[in-house]
Structures are given as C-alpha cells and as structure tokens.
Amino acid sequence: MCSKYDFGVSAASLATFPGLEISVLRQAVDDHFPDHPDNAQIDTLSGPRRPTDAVWIIGMNGVPTIRRWGLKVIGVKGPVINARAESLDHKPAFQDLLMQRCLIPATRWSEWRKDGSTHHQNHITLPGHTPFFFAGLENGVECVIITCAPAPAIAHIHDRMPAIIGPTHHTGWLDAQQNFSKVFTMLRPVPDAVLKWQEDLSAKQQPGLFEDAISLQQDHLPRTAQPD
C-alpha cells in the first residue's frame, strides 16, 4: 500500500500553506543538510518519493521540516511506511506518536492493481494534480503515512488508500490541544468526485519483494493486550 508517491511541484509551493514563507523552507533544508547548505537542495525534495527518502512534512507546530519516510520498529525488518488508521491506538509502535501528527504534501500516489500474476501500476491524483496532504505521524527523525479504507471509485485498484486531510481540517489535525480521539474521524476516504486515476499500460510487472514487504509490515505489528 502506497510505497511510492510524488510531490511533483516545486517545494516552494509549501509556502502557500498558511503562515509559511520560503525563508522557513530554506532554513529547514539548511538544518537537515548542515554539510551542504544550498538552497538548491529545496527542489531535490520534489519528485518521486520512495521509502527511506527524505520528505517534507508539516509538524504540529505548523512549521515545515524534513523527515525520512519509514519508521524503524524493533523486531521488524525494513522500514514501516504505512499505518492503518483503525489500529493506530492499539499498536505500541504508534501509540506514542499520536500526539506527533503531521501533514505530508503530495501531488499523486501510485498503487498496483492485481490481475492474476500481473500487477498494473495506477497513478491517483486530485483534479488538476492539485497538491494535497497525507495524514502522517512522525518521531523527530522518521515519518509514516496513515491509511484508511479506499474510496469506492478506486477500491478496484487496492483495498487501502492514504488518508488525505482536506484544507478545512489542516489546522485541526495539527492542533496539539486535540487528542487523537477528537481527530480520528478525519481519517476517512475522500469523496469519489475528487479522485482521478490512470493506469500505466506500460507498467505491468510483479513488484519486487522489497516493495511488497515494506507495504505490508504494519499489518504484522503486535497489538497491545485488550481489556476484557
């Protein structure tokens, strides 16, 4: 589930988020790449994003910063890149991060539609390739994308989709005064009408083992004991 996404515009477009300025983005780059303080690094954070890549996030303080996509979890081989919304508060790997929510900017994501032994790559966007924000969690170094059930329009492609936080909920999702139970309802499929998708007819293959493994690991994380 969602092992590749794109931020296909200049990272400077983050400056359209309320309260952000290009100078803030440049400072975030300088902080993350202290040995190579170069404003040109801003646009190296645009384009295709894959697990372990450096990615932009907006933290609960409303400030953009850079994290590595994928959590290191004890006992799990490889990075955990996705987290199911329905079980976040039951998994030890995520419980301590519920008050470290973030927004992760994107312009599209890719999923593989299975057809027997063949997988067909699909690219999913909002109309006009409008930038949007995934719901995420972060730990100060790494981040993970939260997933939910798919919108009916794309359920034939995959049985999960990234949870997208709409513009009217950005502030609420990042509000440190709101505990997770108050914002959980934001983690739902977007309406069919705002989704566009296209199947890449040239991309027919069996995804690599690495791609499958990192997409599914979250399903196998241990749950905490539940009360009787």
Looking only at Cα atoms, what is the longest distance across the chain?
56
May I ask the CATH class of domain 5-108+130-190+208-220? alpha beta
Is the pLDDT score of 175 beyond 60? yes
Task: Give me the residue label for tokens 């100060």.
Answer: 140
**Alpha carbon distance, N-terminus to C-terminus of the chain:** 32
Which spans in 36-184 are helix H?
A: 92-95, 170-173, 180-183
Q: Is residue 174's pLDDT more than 50? A: yes
Please tell me the pTM assigned to this model: 0.85
| SS3 at position 166 | coil
Tell me which of 79-88, 105-114, 165-174 is least confident. Answer: 105-114
Q: 204: pLDDT confidence band, cut at 50, 70 and 90?
A: low
Q: Identify the pLDDT of residue 19.
A: 57
Of residues 106, 133, 110, the one with CA closest to residue 121: 110
Q: Where are the domains of the chain?
A: 5-108+130-190+208-220
What's the angle, vertex CA 52, arms to CA 115 and CA 107, rounded to 5? 65
